[in-house]
């Protein structure tokens, strides 16, 4: 597929609709997963994706200036998602995490293994929730195989070294939180 950077501006303005349609086909899934990883709600994530493409539609005349549409789109959806999350700050998420942990694919074959796997996922997700916002965001975005550390830096509007240091701090904090959680779980048994 011809990338947007290779399309002439005049050509883009003429076929902006087709270009946006191609962007939807290619990146809607990625954007949805990015939105879902933060919002953890199917309808909200889909709304965020639609809002992202509506914003793209508003800037259709400048589509030719976009070098990397994937990172650009992820950045837009990320901002949309953060806006939405800020607005729905008071919504309780405890039940969402438990439901989400059940949705994730279990690693074991037996029922016991599946239950243990779901509990592990739940513990991890709760620990991630406790991380500071900046570290949490970097960790969530680093889980996407499509995004390199340079691209994560572009999405978050910072440098690659900052991303690396935040990622290191996030992993350290997460390990500490999970060890504490395991200790508590072992003590209660």
Interface with another protein by CB under 8 A: which residues? 17, 20-21, 24-25, 28-29, 32-34, 36-37, 42, 46, 49-50, 53-54, 57, 100, 103-105, 120-121, 124-125, 127-128, 139-140, 142-145, 168, 171-172, 174-175, 178-179
> Taking the complex as a whole, how short is the minimal distance between the CB of residue 63 and another protein, in angstroms?
14
**What is the Cβ-side half-sphere exposure of residue 184, based on CA atoms within 13 angstroms?**
7
> Taking the complex as a whole, how short is the minimal distance between the CB of residue 48 and another protein, in angstroms?
11
> Taking the complex as a whole, how short is the minimal distance between the CB of residue 154 and another protein, in angstroms?
18
Closer to another protein by Cβ: residue 75 or 121: 121
To the nearest 5 percent, what fractions of the chain are helix, strand and coil?
A: 80, 0, 20
Closer to another protein by Cβ: residue 73 or 153: 73
Pick from 31, 14, 128: nearest CA to 78: 31
Distances (CA, A) of 91 to 51, 86, 165: 21, 10, 31
Closer to another protein by Cβ: residue 10 or 90: 10
Largest CA distance in the chain: 68
Task: Output DSSP code: residue 8.
Answer: -
């Amino acid at each position: 597929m011809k990338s947007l950077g290779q399309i002439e501006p005049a050509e883009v303005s003429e076929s902006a609709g087709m270009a946006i349609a191609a962007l939807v086909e290619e990146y809607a899934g990625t954007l949805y997963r990015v939105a879902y990883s933060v919002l953890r709600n199917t309808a909200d994530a889909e709304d965020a994706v639609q809002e992202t493409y509506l914003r793209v539609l508003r800037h259709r005349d400048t589509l030719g200036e976009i070098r990397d549409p994937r990172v650009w789109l992820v950045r837009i959806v990320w901002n949309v998602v953060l806006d939405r999350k800020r607005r729905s700050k008071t919504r309780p998420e405890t039940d969402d995490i438990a439901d989400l942990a059940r949705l994730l694919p279990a690693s074991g074959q037996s029922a016991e293994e599946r239950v243990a796997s779901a509990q592990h996922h739940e513990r991890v997700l709760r620990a991630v929730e406790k991380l500071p916002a900046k570290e949490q965001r970097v960790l969530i975005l680093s889980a996407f195989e499509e995004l390199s550390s340079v691209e994560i830096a572009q999405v978050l509007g910072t440098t690659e070294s900052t991303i690396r240091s935040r990622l290191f701090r996030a992993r350290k904090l997460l390990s500490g939180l999970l060890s504490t959680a395991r200790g508590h779980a072992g003590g209660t048994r």
